[in-house]
A = this chain, B = another copy of it.
Amino acid sequence: MLQSELKLRRDKIRALMAGQKIDAALFTCNVNLIYTYGRVISGYLYLPLEGPAHIFIKRPNNVSGEFVHPIRKPEQLPDLLKEYGLAIPARLMLEGDELPFNEYTRLAACFPDTEILPCGTSLIRRARSVKTEMELGLFRRSAAAHARAYAQIPSVYAEGMTDRAFSIEIERLMRREGCLGIFRVFGRSMEIFMGSVLTGDNAAAPSPYDFALGGEGLDPSLPGGANGMLLKPGQSVMVDLGGNFFGYMCDMSRVYSVGRLPQQAYDAHQVCLEVQETVAAMAKPGVTGEDLYNAAIGVVTRAGWADHFMGIGQQAKFIGHGIGLEINEAPVLAPRMKQELEPGMVFALEPKIVLPEVGPVGIENSWAVTAEGLEKLTQAPEEIIEL
């Protein structure tokens, strides 16, 4: 990756560090290495407030470059810093929300005279929430590939399919368009394979996870998504697969139907499109996630669908979420979210309604915040498509 791009990203982190009088950061988690170094390695990126970042690599053994050094274990860090003319930091931040407790304490013990702060995750996630031009470019390319895969979805449907079989064919389409498959989520608990394909009442199955909709899944070890039920006439099926083509998690949902659906499904779908239109018209720098959430709830409540919005029984309490290297970044479009939109933020907006005995309807697109408003990244037909 271009050094100028990496410097831009590192300087965004440094600006936040300066505000908290933190004089160095140590990053070792994969998403943070992708962000600050452009690739995954096993090792550490040491970012001082001033001066270049240094990279200490365990593996692979074939990486070289200025400020790139081999390392075997973290206990070597203080000596290596001295060797390369770097001061031992007074206040060092680590990735407190990502590093396991034992790994964090081992790293902290390497710096006995340093004040160790666990805010590394929250601070780099703040930096990551506003994308650079290059990151926006990767999102645009991801969104185009995502849309190309979805355009082929009707071609892989066959009568009598289960949701599982349908999901497998769509996963293949995504992979063939270049999807890397890996679905990165912030937080240790939210496990999901490439995304979810939900039909009929399975869309109402409550999930352990904070995704928009749940689904029973195929095994209690992975409770989410398709559960093996047949795609039946008169039922809807929502495809919501993650579009990780270049490391960035593009997000997009579309609804399909087996034959015609009851009229209320089209009405409810239209309400979701109205939510999208309302939110997209309001969203611009300075507007908060809470403002957008409340506007969405207003539309849905006036239309009489509040009880079926974002699930039945167990309802998700958000309508959208920031996306980036992980599927759940800032901003969050939810109650009490006072964070204001900024140009360069990217989020998924996913108003969805679940109809008993029919299934899910609604829409999800990925959007970038511009100086004036929003840019829609995922361009594809938004009506319910009959299979």
Interface of A with B (CB < 8 Å)? 1, 28-30, 34, 38-43, 58-62, 94, 96-105, 118, 121, 165, 168-169, 171-172, 175-176, 178, 180-182, 188-189, 191-194, 205-210, 214, 218-223, 246-247, 313-314, 325
Q: Which residues of B sit under 8 angstroms from A219, Cβ to Cβ?
A: 180, 246-247
CB-contact partner of A102 in B97, B194, B207, under 8 A: B97
CB of A201 to closest CB in B, whole Å? 13
> What's the number of copies of this chain in the assembled complex?
2
CA A39 to CA B172, docked complex, whole Å: 28
Q: Which residues of B sit under 8 angstroms from A210, Cβ to Cβ?
A: 59
CA A181 to CA B165, docked complex, whole Å: 13
Could you give 21 example pairs across A and B, Cβ below 8 Å?
A34-B220, A38-B220, A40-B220, A40-B222, A42-B189, A42-B209, A59-B208, A62-B206, A97-B102, A99-B101, A101-B118, A105-B118, A165-B176, A169-B172, A171-B181, A172-B172, A180-B219, A180-B221, A219-B247, A220-B247, A222-B247
CA A313 to CA B60, docked complex, whole Å: 10
Supposing A34-B221, A193-B181, A207-B60 touch, asked if A188 and B313 sit within 8 A by C-beta, the answer is no
CB-based contact A175/B182 at 8 Å:
no
CB-contact partner of A59 in B118, B246, B247, B314, under 8 A: B314
